[in-house]
């Protein structure tokens, strides 16, 4: 009888402490919400500092990491890219370009985040880099890059369907195969600043 | 009471108590942003996707019996949340056209490399496993859809 009483008390204590815990997590949620708010406020203040140039810089860093088969560095460049993309000030785009911006924004972010969250899977990073490159190309093609870029083409990737990438140098360095096929590919277009 | 008995009783108590902590269920009304309203989905492809993917990639999960037993239900809830964030067939129409293409490409890639459906899922849901025929069916449809969507891509 005594032990039964102890068990019942224990259950009630645990149940009530569970309730407490729930409200506690709720509170911390609220706290982190307000934290996020203040963070996004400071982000808005910073928005002006971000431009398409930061997006291309992060993209090129990612490209060069893949050229050197460095998936860890590619992952961190992916993070930079999604940060730059999220903070990109769309008012810097002309109205007709804004449509394109809205169309590619989430897509670029998605790819950048996947690349960031797969630091040990370079094949997967390259799959996303392929889709990402087309978006970034369209973006810099309408908005003009801050530096001259080259649109390169690798005919082999994607089951020989081919894939493009952007580079800051005329010399071919293939990010899809790295050192396995470093100089494979061709320059398709020069995007002047 | 011996120590062993006490520990056993304690564990039973914990197990009993956690049964009361139940995650919210992924059950929602029909969505008109469903993939079949945007893309022309052949009935057999639609059927395979529903059977193999929808438990985690839609707004409605067909819950197995063990979801009522914790902590199994918690693991399921976490998987479903992550799955929906990644891709939600019921909200396909909310994606931009490019994103649709990217999502379809990712679906194709993950089916090809076997990362989807998750092994932990097919182990318990034998009927969600792809038959070779269904796998080819879905892959062919995806490939042709990706091509046709890509050729319609808006130019700026």
Residue of B2, B19, B98, B139 to mutate, interface with A, max A Cβ within 10 Å: B98
Give bridge partners of residue A166 from the DSSP assignment. Answer: A151
**B156 and chain A: CB distance < 8 Å anywhere?**
yes
Chain A partners of B105 at a C-beta cutoff of 8 Å? 127, 131
User: What distance in Å separates the CA atoms of residue B109 and residue B76, rounded to the nearest whole number?
Assistant: 24
**What pTM does this model have?**
0.75
Q: Report the gap between the CA of B103 and the closest CA in chain A (Å).
A: 9
Q: CB of B61 within 8 A of CB of B80?
A: yes
Determine the pLDDT at residue A39.
41
Q: CB of A66 within 8 A of CB of A130?
A: no
Condensed to tens digits (0 to 9), the pLDDT of residues B54-65 reads 999 999 998 888
Sheet holding A186-191, edge to edge: A163-167, A149-154, A186-191
Chain B partners of A131 at a C-beta cutoff of 8 Å? 101-102, 105
Condensed to tens digits (0 to 9), the pLDDT of residues A38-61 reads 444 444 333 334 578 888 999 999
Condensed to tens digits (0 to 9), the pLDDT of residues A130-177 reads 999 999 998 888 877 888 899 999 999 988 888 999 999 999 999 999
Chain A partners of B17 at a C-beta cutoff of 8 Å? 11, 14-15, 18
Condensed to tens digits (0 to 9), the pLDDT of residues A71-93 reads 999 999 999 998 888 887 766 66
Least Cα distance to A116 among A160, A168, A161, A58 occurs for A58
Burial A149-168 (b: 16+ CB within 10 A, else e): bbbbebeebeeeeebbbbbe
């Amino acid at each position: 009888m005594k032990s039964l009483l102890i068990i019942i008390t224990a259950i009630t204590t645990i149940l009530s402490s569970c309730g407490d815990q729930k409200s506690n997590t709720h509170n911390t949620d609220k706290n982190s919400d307000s934290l996020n708010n203040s963070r996004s406020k400071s982000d808005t203040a910073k928005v002006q500092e971000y431009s398409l140039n930061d997006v291309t810089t992060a993209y090129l860093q990612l490209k060069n990491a893949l050229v050197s088969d460095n998936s860890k560095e590619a992952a961190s460049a992916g993070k930079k890219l999604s940060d730059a993309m999220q903070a990109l000030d769309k008012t810097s785009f002309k109205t007709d370009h804004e449509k394109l911006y809205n169309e590619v924004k989430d897509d670029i972010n998605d790819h950048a985040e996947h690349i960031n969250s797969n630091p040990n899977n370079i094949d997967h990073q390259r799959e996303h880099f392929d889709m990402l490159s087309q978006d970034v190309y369209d973006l810099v093609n309408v908005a003009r890059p801050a530096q001259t870029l080259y649109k390169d083409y690798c005919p082999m990737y994607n089951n020989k369907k081919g894939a493009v990438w952007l580079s800051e140098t005329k010399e071919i360095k293939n990010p899809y195969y790295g050192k396995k096929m470093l100089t494979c590919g061709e320059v398709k277009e020069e995007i002047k600043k | 009471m011996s120590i062993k008995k006490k520990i056993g009783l304690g564990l039973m108590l914990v197990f009993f108590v956690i049964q009361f902590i139940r995650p919210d269920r992924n059950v929602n009304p029909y969505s008109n942003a469903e993939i079949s309203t945007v893309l022309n989905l052949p009935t057999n492809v639609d059927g395979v996707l529903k059977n193999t993917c929808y438990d985690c990639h839609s707004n409605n999960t067909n819950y197995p019996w063990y979801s009522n037993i914790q902590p199994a239900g918690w693991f399921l809830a976490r998987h479903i949340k992550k799955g929906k964030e990644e891709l939600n067939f019921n909200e396909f129409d909310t994606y931009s056209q490019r994103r649709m293409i990217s999502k379809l490409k990712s679906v194709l890639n993950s089916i090809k490399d076997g990362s989807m459906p998750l092994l932990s899922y097919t182990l318990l849901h034998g009927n969600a496993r792809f038959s070779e025929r269904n796998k080819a069916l879905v892959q062919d449809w995806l490939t042709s859809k990706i091509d046709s969507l890509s050729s319609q891509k808006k130019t700026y």
